[in-house]
């Protein structure tokens, strides 16, 4: 498992970073359905297939646009997600500076009224 802080992962994942499980073609299988593929061209010019569920939009994996090779499985879609621990972080120069201070931010065991959508329009 790894964390990617690149700006593409921040934007496409709508988060501070993306949690990825690297995998080799043939080492995993989709349990149901057929993903929709979007081809993204990175700033480097590399083309990647981004696979997502056509029903709910959940990101499933990324792979080279030419096919095969190494996949980047979107960790939260894996059954073993809670047991997998990130071992590396990449593109840290793009990491959001407040990530170093997460332990200073108050924590709650459940959501607030804001997280349930009761304060819509106040963004």
The answer as to whether 64 is a domain residue is yes
pLDDT, residue 121, reads 56
The answer as to whether 112 is a domain residue is no
| 113 has pLDDT over 70 | no
| 115 has pLDDT over 80 | no
> What mean pLDDT, rounded, does the chain reach?
88
| 25 has pLDDT over 90 | no
Q: Average of pLDDT values for 48-74?
A: 91
The domain tally of the chain equals 1
Whether the model pTM is above 0.85: no
The answer as to whether 18 is a domain residue is yes
pLDDT, residue 112, reads 76
The answer as to whether 119 is a domain residue is no
The answer as to whether 118 is a domain residue is no
Tell me the residue range of the domain where 82 lies.
2-102
Q: Return the beta strands (E) in the chain as ranges.
A: 2-4, 18-24, 36-41, 47-52, 59-64, 70-74, 88-90
């Amino acid at each position: 498992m790894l964390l990617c802080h690149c700006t593409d992962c921040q934007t496409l994942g709508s988060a501070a970073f993306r949690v990825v499980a690297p995998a080799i073609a043939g080492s995993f299988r989709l349990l149901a359905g057929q993903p929709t593929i979007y081809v993204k061209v990175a700033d480097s010019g590399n083309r990647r297939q981004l696979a997502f569920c056509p029903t709910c939009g959940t990101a499933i994996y990324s792979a080279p646009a030419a096919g095969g090779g190494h996949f980047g499985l979107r960790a939260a879609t894996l059954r073993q997600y809670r047991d997998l621990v990130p071992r590396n972080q990449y593109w840290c120069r793009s990491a959001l500076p407040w990530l170093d201070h997460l332990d200073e931010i108050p924590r709650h065991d459940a959501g607030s009224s804001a997280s349930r959508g009761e304060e819509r329009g106040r963004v």
